[in-house]
């Protein structure tokens, strides 16, 4: 066997052999429209939602929660309309997950009021005694770091101006700190007094929760 | 050592690094296994399940797995080429940088610096570190192969070359990201493409770290430990090329029934089924190597590790493609069944083979006899029992969970809430934790045995 005595040729041939499947199933699809469909009803994340998404990533929520509803009868029954590729056009990285220790979250937006999430994040066991989800009440004790928010949205290519990002942050802050906010009592309960007038990490991750699947739901509602 | 000029200190350094990260990774594994039925253990953000799970997978996959691979690779490369390591200083630097990187990886993941792409969670500065590490390794691999004294490259060297080349491609392509800060970046791919790239990587990192180099060990250390030549050279050639060809097509079986284009999923299913053949090529080659000498399963403690190890490889590579089938995947995916599947491979196949390779190699490089064969046998039975209870428990749990997710009432409504299905698994999680403890005791015996081996006086006058 000639090739077994020529290490460089052997390595080059190995590279070629592994690249065939790679090119066909990974590299070529990168440029196909079917892997990157766009849809006018799917909107990019706001700066707050993106910050919330980053907290979701930081805490490794994807280790227990998926974000893809499969086209199976019981799955659609449990979570809602199955997931389509265009919904993930703004997901860098994707967060589909691989294990459902907790339920799928791709249709969680709008399912519960913010107050439900504040309570549940603070203590999942207070709502579901036997839940094994870690408590995340401490997120409400962390002021949201927005120093990179604009940079983040521009790297993601969302096309917001710096003013727009500032405005989004200010709007969301105004919303959750307003006296008329429908989840005010619960938010105040879980948020330390000195941060009640600020945006916290808890606020951001809940904004992100409420965004998940919302575009699809509002499209369905319009039909 | 002087008479051969072989560089063994780096082999020993990587071997004991592997043992260290193995013990650390398993302690974290036990911790998160306990959190699964007792969330009170999520004491601080640093110890919460979401952060620790990636420390467990990276610590064992990269810390233990890679260190074990580097240790045995540096050994096999020198023996099989009959050439001393060309750049021993580079290999030593590799060892130090490796352990620094793994320590930083663990700390950064605990701090929540997590890109979330499975088995590629490290943030970009550490990615660059990993690439540098890999280049340092590759330089020695190719230099020694070019300078080699032995004309033909033995099977194990093919696998090491394939690993060196493929991991480089996989790691770089999947980790392309745009930095936001020193500790944060975003993937350059979006949505379905990002998923496709990630699972092409995720599946093949398992293939080219937990399969390919472990097969290199198997093909080298099995004949060494048993004194029997590999049954068929031709079969090993066919297995090798078809394995590395087919592997790269199969990543999308991790994305079955997701929004990824269906043809990519279907191609992945086809190649997954195809992969049974080359995988079993190695299994059969292993079994037939023992042909007529099966009494070694009783008389030679190392034969047990290798043959039971390759058996789990065979089961793993049969179970994997079957799970990839659409109908079965619809039932099993996202349940604990898959967790059981992964752990049969890692706790059964990978650890069995690395254990036996170390038992053979450490006495050779230190000139000492193994401290205790009896202890090695106890180690074997503990990790076998621990792993079997662990994985079978998870398979049963997975079937139960899958069935409860799918169950409907006569009127078509769902029979169980999500929480019903989850809480029904807690008894299994408790058993799993117990099995993990049994396994961990076996691993402690393994580490203890090797530590005692090197602490003994040399068996021969001069090592």
Of A1, A19, A35, the CB nearest to B261: A35
Residue B402's pLDDT is what? Answer: 97
Which residue does chain A place closest to B425, by CA atoms?
Answer: A101
Whether A68 shows a pLDDT value over 70: the answer reads: yes
The verdict on a CB contact (< 8 Å) between A72 and B115 is: no
| B347–chain A Cβ distance below 8 A for any pair | no
Tell me the whole-structure pTM to 2 decimals: 0.96
Which residue does chain A place closest to B149, by CA atoms?
Answer: A5
The verdict on a CB contact (< 8 Å) between B191 and A135 is: no
Residue B460's pLDDT is what? Answer: 58
| A14–chain B Cβ distance below 8 A for any pair | yes
| B189–chain A Cβ distance below 8 A for any pair | yes
Collect the ranges in chain B with pLDDT lower than 70. Answer: 1-4, 459-463
Token digits for A39? 């849809």
Q: How far is B72 from chain A (nearest CA, A)?
A: 19
pLDDT in tens, A69-107: 999 999 999 999 999 999 999 999 999 999 999 999 999
In B135-154, the residues whose Cβ lies within 8 Å of chain A are: 142, 145-146, 148, 151-153
| B245–chain A Cβ distance below 8 A for any pair | yes
Residue B2's pLDDT is what? Answer: 45
pLDDT in tens, A179-191: 999 999 999 999 9
pLDDT in tens, A133-180: 999 999 999 999 999 999 999 999 999 999 999 999 999 999 999 999
Top residue of B334, B339, B341 to mutate, by most chain A CBs within 10 Å, is: B334
Residue B422's pLDDT is what? Answer: 97
pLDDT in tens, A7-47: 999 999 999 999 999 999 999 999 999 999 989 999 999 99
Which residue does chain B place closest to A100, by CA atoms?
Answer: B334
Give chain B positions within 8 Å (CB) of A84: 259
The verdict on a CB contact (< 8 Å) between A18 and B244 is: yes
pLDDT in tens, B14-71: 999 999 999 999 999 999 999 999 999 999 999 999 999 999 999 999 999 999 999 9
| B427–chain A Cβ distance below 8 A for any pair | no
| B298–chain A Cβ distance below 8 A for any pair | no
| B118–chain A Cβ distance below 8 A for any pair | yes
């Amino acid at each position: 066997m000639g090739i077994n005595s020529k290490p460089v040729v052997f390595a080059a041939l190995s590279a070629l052999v592994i690249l065939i499947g790679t090119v066909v199933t990974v590299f070529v699809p990168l440029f196909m429209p079917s892997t990157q469909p766009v849809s006018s009803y799917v909107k990019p994340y706001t700066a707050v939602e993106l910050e919330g998404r980053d907290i979701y990533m930081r805490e490794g929520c994807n280790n227990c929660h998926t974000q893809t509803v499969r086209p199976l009868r019981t799955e659609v029954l449990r979570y809602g309309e199955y997931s389509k590729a265009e919904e993930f056009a703004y997901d860098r990285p994707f967060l589909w997950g691989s294990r459902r220790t907790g339920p799928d979250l791709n249709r969680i937006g709008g399912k519960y009021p913010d107050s439900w999430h504040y309570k549940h994040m603070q203590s999942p066991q207070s709502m579901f005694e036997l839940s094994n989800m870690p408590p995340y009440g401490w997120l409400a004790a962390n002021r949201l770091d927005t120093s990179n928010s604009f940079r983040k949205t521009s790297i993601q290519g969302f096309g917001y101006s710096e003013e727009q990002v500032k405005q989004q942050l200010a709007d969301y802050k105004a919303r959750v700190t307003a006296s008329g906010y429908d989840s005010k009592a619960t938010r105040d309960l879980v948020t330390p007094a000195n941060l009640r007038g600020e945006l916290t990490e808890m606020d951001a991750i809940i904004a992100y929760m409420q965004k998940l699947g919302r575009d699809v739901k509002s499209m369905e509602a319009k039909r | 050592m002087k008479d051969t000029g072989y560089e063994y200190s780096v082999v020993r350094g990587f071997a004991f690094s592997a043992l260290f990260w193995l013990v650390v990774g398993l302690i974290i594994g036990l911790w998160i296994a306990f959190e699964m039925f007792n969330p009170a253990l999520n004491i601080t953000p640093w110890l919460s399940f979401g952060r620790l799970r990636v420390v467990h997978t990276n610590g064992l996959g990269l810390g233990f797995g890679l260190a074990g691979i580097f240790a045995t690779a540096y050994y096999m490369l020198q023996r099989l080429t009959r050439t001393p390591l060309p750049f021993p200083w580079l290999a030593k630097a590799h060892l130090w940088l490796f352990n620094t990187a793994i320590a930083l990886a663990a700390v950064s993941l605990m701090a929540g610096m997590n890109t979330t792409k499975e088995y590629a969670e490290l943030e970009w500065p550490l990615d660059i570190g990993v690439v540098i590490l890999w280049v340092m390794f590759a330089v020695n691999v190719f230099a020694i192969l070019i300078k080699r004294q032995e004309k033909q490259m033995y099977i194990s060297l093919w696998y090491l070359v394939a690993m060196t080349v493929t991991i480089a491609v996989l790691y770089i392509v999947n980790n392309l990201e745009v930095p936001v800060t020193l500790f944060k970046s975003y993937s350059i791919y979006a949505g379905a493409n990002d998923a496709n790239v990630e699972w092409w990587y995720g599946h093949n990192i398992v293939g080219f770290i937990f399969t390919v180099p472990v097969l290199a060990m198997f093909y080298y250390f099995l004949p060494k430990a048993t004194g029997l030549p590999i049954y068929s050279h031709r079969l090993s050639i066919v297995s090798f090329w078809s394995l590395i060809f087919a592997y790269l097509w199969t990543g999308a079986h991790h994305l079955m029934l997701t929004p990824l284009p269906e043809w990519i999923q279907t191609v992945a299913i086809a190649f997954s089924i195809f992969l049974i053949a080359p995988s079993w090529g190695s299994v059969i080659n292993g079994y037939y190597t023992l042909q007529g000498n099966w009494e070694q399963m009783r008389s030679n403690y190392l034969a047990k590790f290798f043959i039971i190890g390759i058996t789990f490889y065979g089961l793993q590579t049969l179970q994997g493609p079957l799970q990839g089938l659409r109908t079965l995947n619809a039932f099993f995916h996202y349940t604990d069944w898959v967790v059981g599947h992964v752990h049969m491979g890692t706790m059964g196949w990978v650890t069995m083979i690395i254990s036996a390779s170390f038992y053979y190699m450490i006495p050779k490089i230190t000139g000492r006899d193994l401290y205790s064969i009896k202890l090695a046998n106890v180690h074997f039975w503990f990790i076998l029992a621990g792993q079997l209870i662990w994985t079978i428990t998870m398979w049963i749990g997975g079937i139960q969970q899958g069935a409860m997710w799918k169950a409907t009432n006569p009127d078509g409504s769902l029979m169980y809430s999500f929480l019903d299905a989850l809480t029904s698994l807690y008894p299994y999680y408790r058993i799993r934790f117990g099995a993990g403890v049994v396994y961990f005791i076996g691993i402690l015996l393994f580490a203890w045995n090797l530590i005692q081996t090197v602490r003994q006086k040399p068996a021969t006058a001069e090592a």
